[in-house]
Structure 1
Amino acid sequence: MSRSHSTSLGLGAADHASPGDQATARRRILSRAPLPRVLPWAAGPAWFVAALATWRWPDADDFPDTNQLAALFLVIGLALTAAAALRRLSARAPWAIALGLGFAAWEIVQAKLLWLPRPFFGTPQDLLDVFLTDWKRLGDSLLHSLGLLAVGYGTGSALGIATGVGLGRSPRVRYWVQPVIRLIGPLPPVALLPLAFVLIPSSRLASEALLALAAGFPTAILTWSGVAAVDPAYYDVARTMGARNRFLVLRVALPAAMPQIFVGLFMGLGVSFATLVVAEMLGVKSGLGFYMQWAQGWAAYPNMYAALLVMSLMCTGLVTLLFKVRDRVLSWQKDGLKW
Structure 2
Amino acid sequence: MVTKQQKSEAKLDLSSADLQELEKKEKTPLEKQLDKVICFLPFLMTIIHLLEYLYIPNYPGNQNTFTYVYFLGAFAIYYLIRGLLAMFNNKQFKRWRYKAPLQTLIFFLLMVYDILTLKTATLLLPYFPWVDQLINAILSDWSFLMESTTSSLSLLFQGFILGAIVGLLSGILCGYFEKTNYWISPFVTVIGSIPTTTWIPIVMVLAASLRNGALFVISLGVFFALHNASFAGVRSIDREYYEVAKTLGAEQRQLMTSITIPAILPNVFTGLIQGMSTACTSLIVAEMMGVESGLGFYITWQKNWAQYDKMYGGILVICIMFLAVHFVLKLIESHLLKWKDA
Measured against the shorter chain, the TM-score band is 0.7 to 0.9
1:54–1:66 Cα contact (<8 Å) kept: no
**2:260 maps to which residue?**
253
Conserved? CA contact 2:164–2:272, under 8 Å = yes
Confirm or deny that 1:148 pairs with 2:150. no
Q: Say which is worse superposed, 75-84 or 137-146, in terms of deviation.
A: 75-84
Partner of 1:302: 309
Equivalent positions of 1:255-274 (< 5 A) are 255-274=262-281
Are residues 1:51 and 2:58 paired?
Answer: no
User: Any conservation in 1 of the 2:17–2:341 contact (CA below 8 Å)?
Assistant: no
Alignment partner, residue 84 of structure 1: 83
Match of 1:29 in 2: 27
User: Residue deviations 1:85-139, cap 9 Å, x none?
Assistant: 3336544433343334433333333212212121111112211111221122222
Report the more deviating stretch, 59-68 or 220-229: 59-68
Letter in 1 for 2:76: G
Does structure 1 retain, via aligned residues, the 8 Å contact 2:173–2:181?
Answer: yes
Return the offset for 1:27: 9.4
Tell me if structure 1 keeps the 8 A contact 2:192–2:224: yes
Distance in 1 (alpha carbons) for counterparts of 2:196 and 2:241: 37
TM-score, normalisation: structure 1: 0.83
Work out the CA distance in 1 between the residues paired with 2:316 and 2:291.
20
Deviation at 1:159, TM superposition (A): 0.4
Question: Does structure 1 conserve the Cα–Cα contact (< 8 Å) formed by 2:67 and 2:136?
Answer: no
Match of 1:3 in 2: none
Partners of 1:228 and 1:309 in 2: CA distance: 40
Matches within 5 A, 1:180-259: 180-259=187-266
Correspondence list, 1:105-120, <5 A? 105-120=112-127
Match of 1:330 among 334, 337, 342: 337
Larger RCO (alpha carbons 8 Å, 6+ apart): 2
**Which secondary structure does the structure 1 equivalent of 2:340 belong to?**
coil
Could you tell me how far apart the structure 1 residues matched to 2:248 and 2:19 are?
40
Counterparts in 2 of 1:196 and 1:165: CA distance versus 1, 3 Å: same
User: Do the aligned residues in 2 keep the contact of 1:50 with 1:70 (CA within 8 Å)?
Assistant: no
**Higher mean C-alpha deviation, range 212-221 or range 252-261:** 252-261
State the Cα deviation string for residues 122-164 of structure 1 (Å, max 9, x = none): 1122111112211222222222221111111111111011111
Distance 1:310 1:247, change over 3 A: same
Q: Please give the secondary structure, in 2, of the residue aligned with 1:66.
A: coil
Match of 1:74 in 2: 73
- Quick check: 1:222–1:260 contact (8 Å CA) kept in 2? yes
Distance 1:27 1:104 in 2: 36
Gaps of 5+ in 1: 1-5
Question: Which deviates the most, 154-163 or 324-333?
Answer: 324-333
Choose the corresponding residue for 1:284, options 256, 275, 291.
291
Moved more, 23-32 or 189-198: 23-32
**Is the contact made by 1:30 and 1:36 (CA closer than 8 Å) also made in structure 2?**
no
Q: CA deviation at 1:62?
A: 5.3
Tell me the matched-pair count: 324
SS at match of 2:27: helix
Change in CA separation of 1:315 and 1:23 when aligned onto 2, cut-off 3 Å: farther
Q: Is the 8 A contact 2:196 2:282 kept in 1?
A: yes
Does residue 131 (structure 1) correspond to residue 130 (structure 2)? The answer is no
Percent identity, aligned pairs only, is 27
- Using the alignment, how far apart are the partners of 1:137 and 1:27 within structure 2? 54
Gaps in structure 2 of 5+ consecutive residues: none
**CA-CA distance at 1:63 after TM superposition:** 5.1
Normalised to the residue count of structure 2, the TM-score between the two structures is 0.83
